[in-house]
Amino acid sequence: MSVSKGVLLIGGPSKGTRMRPLTLDCPKPLLPIAGKPMIWHPLSAFAKVPGLTEVIIIGFYEDSVMSGFIKEVKREFPNIGISYLREYKALGTAGGLYHFRDSILRPPVPQNIFICNIDICSAFPFQELLQLHSSHRGVGTIMGVNVKKETAQKYGCIVTEPESSLMVHYVEKPDSWISNTVNGGVYLFDKSEDPLVKPDEILRLEQDVIVPLAAAKKMYVYECKDFWRQIKTAASAVTANSLYLTRIQKTNPDFLARSSPNVISPVYIDSSATIDPTAKIGPNVAIGPGVTVGAGVRVKDAIILEGTNLEQHSCVLNSIVGANCNVGAWARVDGKPEPETDVKGQISVTILATEVSLAPETLVRSCIVLPNKSLNRNSANEVLL
């Protein structure tokens, strides 16, 4: 079996600004989605790939930010090596790969190198990607995903030759429509035809690596039929949460809360959370550590982060409630589902940042509330600073 390694590109604190205000207190890769940090989902998928010996996480967060997580996953996945390599500055998506090429290529020397962005939510079909990759003679395989025609131009658009899966054309965010197959943010490269040998300061994986490889007919496309979403905005975390929970329901149902009249699957409830039996939870809810959910509370399509208290009869729908918030009795935190395409100036999902307090009976609908706010009036469609 050939040796593989996985690289996770996590970016740094200056990235992920569209995830604010959640990322003001929690670095984006560690944001809990479906009960696990965002980065855990691709990492655990790597751990299942036969022959994968090591996962290298590259970003420019402080080491201390990542060290706790690294320690945890090393314990959880003892059979693979996991390390965090910090860029001294943002080097671009491929720049980091080039910078750390020696670490990536150290023995056991990998035949295949997976590269995965973490701002996506996917089933991460790495094994299927590897299978296709092994069947052609190109140097790289990209995971292509199908999106709606209206949204395709927001992504890197791929034109494929259907019979051979050969990539014939690639344009990053084109001005006019090219195809519905777009770059899913997951790649597999041969070590032999090392694409990482461009000593530029800033090296972009898409424009500087993929485009020339497509032109040279050395890139192939694996079309992923399973779910896929970008996690760019805070609102998309709610969608990702429900997609991951639905998947976990099939792959690892014991991780989730057991279904009952008041628990509508899929629901994740941390073992240290306290839930009143009269509260009705789910579907698509993740409840973090130390959360208290009072009598007669309703939670649906939501992420409740650690230490938060939902008082009796309160109602949280289509929202993310940050850590250590307090939602008063009969208060309502309500949002709209994430729309297919963002409308400027319109907020869909409600986000309460850390330590927000909501007075009893107040309504917060489609709002973004910054940390440490105390709200005692109804609010709708506002950013509350």
Partner 1 sequence: MKISTTSLPLNPTQPRYALILVGGFGTRLRPLTLSWPKPLVEFCNKAMILHQIEALVKAGVKDIVLAVNYRPEVMVSVLKKTEEEFGINIHFSVETEPLGTAGPLALARDILGKDDSPFFVLNSDVTCVYPFEAFRDFHIAHGAEGSIMVTKVAEPSAYGVVVTKPGSTVIDRFVEKPVEFVGNRINAGIYIFNPTVLNRIKLEPTSIEKDTFPAIAADQQLHSFDLPGFWMDVGQPKDYLSGTCLYLSHLTSTHSPLLTDPKKNKWVYGGNVLVDPSAEIDPTAVIGPNVVIGPDAKIGPGVRLQRCVILSNAVVRDHAWIANSIIGWNSNVGRWTRVENITVLGDDVTIKDELYVNGASVLPHKSISTSITEPRIKRRESCKIDPSYYPH
- Residues in contact with partner 1 by CB under 8 A are 280, 295-296, 298, 300, 312-313, 315, 317, 330, 332, 334, 361, 363, 365, 380
Distance of closest approach, residue 351 Cβ to partner 1, in angstroms: 18
Distance of closest approach, residue 316 Cβ to partner 1, in angstroms: 10
Instruction: Please answer whether residues 115 and 9 qualify as being in contact, where contact means their C-beta atoms are separated by less than 8 angstroms.
Output: yes
What is the tally of helices (H) and strands (E) in the chain? 7, 30
DSSP 281: E
Instruction: Please answer whether residues 35 and 86 qualify as being in contact, where contact means their C-beta atoms are separated by less than 8 angstroms.
Output: no
The span from the CA of 223 to the CA of 129, in Å, is 9
Distance of closest approach, residue 360 Cβ to partner 1, in angstroms: 9
Q: Which residue reads 């059979």 in tokens?
A: 79
Distance of closest approach, residue 375 Cβ to partner 1, in angstroms: 16
Q: Which residue reads 């990235």 in tokens?
A: 15
Residues 6+ apart with CB under 8 A from 31: 19, 22, 23, 37, 38, 237
Distance of closest approach, residue 300 Cβ to partner 1, in angstroms: 7
Give whichever of 113 and 287 is closer to partner 1, judged by the CB atom. 287
Reading the block at residue 35, the tokens are: 């009960």
If phi > 0 it is left, if psi is from -120 to 50 it is alpha, else beta; for residue 335 that is: beta
Distance of closest approach, residue 368 Cβ to partner 1, in angstroms: 17
Give whichever of 44 and 312 is closer to partner 1, judged by the CB atom. 312
Distance of closest approach, residue 264 Cβ to partner 1, in angstroms: 12
Give whichever of 230 and 284 is closer to partner 1, judged by the CB atom. 284
Phi and psi angles of residue 362, each rounded to the nearest 5 degrees, phi first? -85, 160
Give whichever of 30 and 317 is closer to partner 1, judged by the CB atom. 317
CA 336 to chain centre: 20
Reading the block at residue 308, the tokens are: 């938060």
If phi > 0 it is left, if psi is from -120 to 50 it is alpha, else beta; for residue 137 that is: alpha
